[in-house]
Amino acid sequence: MKLIQFIVILIFFSSCNSQKLAIHVEKWKPYCGGAKPTEEMSKGLKTPFSGEKFKLYFKGETASDKIISLDKNGNWKGKIPKNVSCEIYRLDKTISLDELLKKYTKEIGKFYTVIEDKEIFLWQNQADFIIPIVTKKPVSFDIQDKCFVGLNPCIRYIGPFPQ
């Protein structure tokens, strides 16, 4: 009986130290040239960032960091520690430089070049989004695609651009 009471008390206090959070992420792809764009095309294209993984780093408490996966609509719902700020990073930003280079520079064509290590380090250390300490609203942000390289953080397009 005491064990049941202990479990109920533990659940109660752990729920007091967390808050619900909803995250929505979209990938924004710019218009990259070619045929004359319509007004809508020139604004770029937003699509749900489905299936992507992120790491949440909590600041201000000894809470454990958390890895989350977005659903097919680019959404995640769950609980995070209360009264902490949270930095959100794509999971790729948490792997080593060597792993990134292996993953993203296997086959690059003549119109691409590998960027300098320091630029990759800057990219890795920049949070994709920072959640303020007190937020009750759903969080929504965009991840920006780049023309001709997409989300590849290790290469730059140096070829001709469409007219």
Mean pLDDT of 67-80: 95
Domains of the chain: 2-94+126-149 (2.60.40)
92-138 pLDDT, tens digit each: 999 999 999 999 988 788 999 999 999 999 999 999 999 877 667 88
Of residues 35 and 12, the one with the higher pLDDT is 35
What's the pLDDT at 77? 96
Burial of 58 (0-12, 13-18, 19+ CB in 10 A): middle
48-57 pLDDT, tens digit each: 999 999 999 9
Check: CB of residue 154 under 8 Å from CB of residue 102: no
Average pLDDT of the residues of the chain: 87
Query: Tokens 């609509």 label which residue?
Result: 73
Answer yes or no: is pLDDT of 12 > 60: no
